[in-house]
Copies of this chain bind each other. A is one copy, B any other.
Amino acid sequence: MPTPWTLDPDRVFSPVPNVRARARDLYAGIADLPILAPHGHVEPALLANPDARFGNPAELFIIPDHYVFRMLYSQGVPMESLGVPRQDGGPVETDPRKIWRTFCEHFHLFRGTPTALWLKAELVDLFGVDVAPSGETADAIYDVIDAHLQSDAFTPRALFERFGVETLATTDPAAGDLSLHAQMQAEGLPVIPTFRPDAAMNLADPSWRTTLDVLGERAGVMIDSLDTFREALRVRRAHFAAHGAKASDHGIISSFVAPIEESDLQELFDHGLAGTATQEEAEAFHAHMVFEMAGMAVDDGLVMQLHVGSSRNHHQAVFDRFGLDKGADIPVAMDFTYGLHALLNRYGSEPNFRLITFTLDESTYGRELAPLAGHYPALRLGAPWWFFDSVLGFDRYLDAVVETAGIYNLAGFNDDTRAFASIPTRHDVWRRAVANWLAGKVERGLVEAEDAPEMAHWLAYGAAKSAYRLDD
């Protein structure tokens, strides 16, 4: 008989009794705060349609989650056997029960990872599972989850309410149709869009001209020049803002955000139109446009998020076969001191400008980002991102940035996830880690005991609200 599988109520907290006791107290004060999810990748349609369902357990937990299937792939399990769709439409496993079984047989691979922590919290708390996944328990667990997923209590909408989400931001292309957002807001659902114009910046993408056409159509602007391109971006930003957007988001590979002379920029743009732009030209163009869009942000007040330093699609064969976001995006070293120099010098003290940075290079936390945030009024530091959205990642982040930047230059937490069902536990882990971190600092005499509850509240809720201007 397998050991009962239960959640440790003190998980994430220090094993040192006095720290644990204080962490527990601090956590109690923030555990039930509403969730602010100002950056993430939930599909609007999932929430817009009251009848939407999550599908089966494999569709909910495995097929769309590259955190999950990458780990099995790394140990030799073909993605095909996990139902990950191929670009060429070739055959992949379609029996969700088989996919689920393969996953459960490899569940030990996640030992010690945040994925295990999240999955366990979801399975136990949300679905009432009480045995650990394994080859033997796979089918029984499948049945438990599947039954829940077919009930009305487990629709995305029902969970949204149960989760206590105060605001959820989706991430949407510049040409995105925001009618679903409008509909949801009309129904009182606090789902807002985020302006993510990356696709429109990628001169080297063969479909860029098409992207421009759609963008122009949506903006009501015929894009045939740099200036009409800019005009379309401005129109769309305004459209997003009118639909409740508080922020834009930009994914760039290098931290160097560098303005380019207009004539040179024109040349890049022309290469894009002619279909001859190289990857390097596309990156230079994007880096310049981030600089320009910071200027637009000064005008329209959209908070600018920069997600910097992921080398996407590192594994060409996997990319060719399975497409984007399939677990081979690998971080590279960053240089924010020189990289953000031009941007921060131009806009870093503009009262209406707000910049939130995300990095995958932890060595920049204390060396570059915290000193920059401890000076420039516009800058707030984003939460640990991706691989570092983890207990130890949070510990290291707070240890590295707070001494230099304080906590009021931080942007709080965001879950940055496609995996809707994991949202509460991701926020919960952050809140536990914050409570524990503060408790440890109080017990070392480095934070005042009477300040700690307010600081916990700020890190769990207030910081995100402030950084993303959700209180405006």
Contacts and interface: CB of A to CB of B under 8 A. Distances in A.
Contacts of A391: 403, 444, 446
A331 B16 CA distance: 35
Contact of A333 (B8, B335, B445): B335
Interface-central residue, A110, A351, A363, A444, by most chain B CB under 10 Å: A444
A112 B111 CA distance: 32
A110 to B, nearest CB: 6
A84 interface: no
Given A330-B372, A338-B332, A349-B315, A74 B366 contact: no
Interface in A342-372: 344-345, 348-349, 351, 360-363, 366-368, 370-372
A441 interface: yes
A360 B451 CA distance: 30
Interface string A48-76: 00000000000000000000001101111
A366 B387 contact: yes
Interface in A82-129: 108-114, 117
A315 B74 contact: no
Interface residues of A, number: 91
A349 to B, nearest CB: 7
Contact of A446 (B12, B19, B348, B451): B12
A333 B327 CA distance: 25
A11 interface: yes
Contacts of A332: 335, 337-338, 367-368
A275 to B, nearest CB: 26
A406 B113 contact: yes
A73 B377 contact: yes
A244 to B, nearest CB: 25
A175 interface: no
B376 A403 contact: no
Contact of A368 (B76, B318, B331, B392): B331
Given A335-B332, A375-B330, A402-B112, A18 B19 contact: no
A393 interface: yes
A159 interface: no
A108 B10 CA distance: 29
Contact of A13 (B19, B75, B444, B447): B444
Interface in A209-255: none
A76 B351 contact: yes
Given A315-B345, A392-B403, A403-B392, A111 B363 contact: no
Contacts of A444: 11-15, 391
Interface string A368-410: 1011111111010000000110111100000110111111110
A186 interface: no
A197 interface: no
A44 interface: no
Contacts of A472: none
A316 interface: yes
Nearest to A441: B112
Given A374-B71, A445-B10, A15 B367 contact: no
B112 A446 contact: yes
B362 A76 contact: no
Given A110-B406, A315-B344, A392-B403, 9 more contacts: A12-B444, A12-B446, A74-B374, A74-B375, A132-B448, A315-B345, A332-B335, A333-B335, A392-B400
| 6 A-B pairs with least C-beta separation | A11-B445, A15-B443, A8-B445, A112-B402, A390-B403, A387-B404
